[in-house]
Each structure stands twice: as C-alpha cells, then as structure tokens.
Amino acid sequence: MGYLVVNTSKSHELDAGKTKEIWWNNAAPGNAVWSANAVPASTGSTQAGFSQDTQLEVTCVWRRYKVVEEGSGQISDVDIEHEIHCEVKNVGGSKARLSCTSPRFGSGR
C-alpha cells in the first residue's frame, strides 16, 4: 500500500476559538483512505517578533461522493466527484495561520 501527502498549497487564517471547514475537490482515487492534518505556519515578523504558541485541532473528517447525471434519455454522461472535508479549530489564544495536508493511503489504482 502506497502513501502520498497532498498539500492544499493554500494558507488560511483562523481567529482564536473559531472553526473553519476546508475541503479538497476531486480527491482521487476514490478507494483510498484519507486523513487530514492542520499545519501551523509562522505568524511572526521582524517588526512584531517571533514568539507564538499555535494550537490547532482537526475536529472531524468526512467524505462526500457526488454523482451528477448530465443529459437524459438512453445515453447520458455521469460526472463523479470525491470530496474530502475537514473542520479545523483554533484552540489557542491568538490568530493562527495554517495550511492543510491530507495523507492518502492506497494503491492509487
């Protein structure tokens, strides 16, 4: 079984005590096992200093499977999409900057 880490390459900001939903569209392959991880980023600067204590919690992870039939009659196209959703909560005392990664376990076939 292979292992791959998918980085959303998108930075998010989250105020203390707040929760944010983050998701990946077209999460392939559909038969893979997915997980989610919130990765804190540095919020310091040379002006403000670099002290920080970031605490993030992934509160839940779920999958969404969407099938949309396009057209009608005997012949129609079907669009299938797998989505991975997660909620991240800032359990720390200050605003956090983060990115999300999603390890995928599976053969990819």
Residue 100 confidence (pLDDT) above 80: no
Domain coverage including residue 60: 2-43+55-106
Higher pLDDT, 100 or 8: 100
Question: How far is Cα 41 from Cα 97, in angstroms, rounded to an integer?
Answer: 5
User: Which residue in 101, 107, 95, 79 sits closest to 6, CA to CA?
Assistant: 101
Three-state DSSP state, 62: strand
- Identify the pLDDT of residue 91: 95
- Answer whether residue 25 is part of any domain: yes
Per-residue pLDDT of 9-61, as tens digits, reads 678 889 999 999 988 888 777 787 778 888 888 777 778 777 888 899 999 99
- Answer whether residue 49 is part of any domain: no
- Identify the pLDDT of residue 6: 62
Domain of residue 67, CATH code:
2.60.40
- Identify the pLDDT of residue 109: 43
User: Which residue in 12, 24, 25, 23 sits closest to 56, CA to CA?
Assistant: 12
User: Which residue in 59, 61, 48, 58 sits closest to 94, CA to CA?
Assistant: 48
- Answer whether residue 94 is part of any domain: yes
Domains: count for the chain: 1
Taking a C-beta distance cutoff of 8 angstroms, is the pair 34, 61 a contact? yes
